[in-house]
Amino acid sequence: MSRSERLFDLLHVLRGHRRPVSGKVLAKQVGVSIRTLYRDIVSLQALGAVIEGEPGVGYVLKPGFLLPPLMFTPEEIEALVLGSRWVADRADNPLQHAARSALTRIATVLPAHLRNELDTSALLVGPGTTILADRVEPALLRKAIRAERKLSLHYCDATGRPSERIVWPFALAFFESVRVLLGWCELRQDFRQFRTDRIVSATLIDARYPRRRQALLKEWREAEGIR
């Protein structure tokens, strides 16, 4: 492992800890000696990383630092390319554009040998079933999720029966041929799933819903038995 790869790994490990973590634990996770770890922490601090702590107390990385150039393993690059190609092929237009743009941005900061790995990736996305067309812009649904805003929905179920709902959207699930909005339904006072191709219209409400979306997602996963 090169020194730059080692520093990137240490940075990645530090980002995974929100509270101070001992040098011994960090050294074990990165796979280096404690002496090398201390030297690498000093190197990251010299590059501008705000790492607080000291030997015997623990270390924590303050957010906001990126280590240039980006370093990825060949497998990580393949995962990025494959995922981006799937999004570029199966998502709505704004996400398709974002996926292509993200790959371009990553390519510009990769070292030459890793950029070649990205450009020549042989992992392809095969054709899938036709995605049912949405009546509302998925970008509006994603905006509501990010902002934790309520949505007023006009919805038709599988039998064509219409209903009006106020929902707290907290996730959007992508399947082979459909997309599903997950939310807390004020009408049913429970979690509900709404196929986006059956949403007739959606209006963003000014009011934020009273819970955090992370908490709602966690409760939904528990209710569904998903770990």
pLDDT digits (tens, 9 = 90+) for 42-76: 988 887 888 998 888 899 998 876 655 556 778 88
Question: Judging by DSSP bridges, how do beta strands 149-156 and 199-208 pair with one another?
Answer: antiparallel
| Alpha carbon distance 96, 98 (integer Å) | 5
- 157-163 contacts at long range (C-beta below 8 A, 24 or more positions apart): 157/198, 158/198, 162/200, 163/187
> In this predicted model, what pLDDT tens digit does every residue of 91-145 receive, in sequence order?
989 999 999 988 887 887 777 777 888 888 899 898 888 888 899 999 999 999 9
First and final C-alpha spacing in the chain: 34
Cis peptide before 69 (omega within 30 of 0): yes
- Sequence ranges of the chain with CATH classification 2.30.30: 138-224
Quick one: CATH architecture of 3-61? Answer: Orthogonal Bundle (1.10)
Both tokens assigned to 62: 């303050």
At position 136, the amino acid (one-letter code) is: V
Q: For the residues of 122-137, what is the DSSP string, one character each?
A: ---PPP-PPPPPPSS-
CATH 1.10.10.10 domain locations along the chain: 3-61
pLDDT of residue 184: 97
Higher pLDDT, 103 or 183: 183
Q: What is the CATH number of domain 138-224?
A: 2.30.30
Give the residues across from 171 on adjacent strands.
182
* Residue that wins the pLDDT comparison between 185 and 126: 185
The pLDDT value given to residue 119? 85
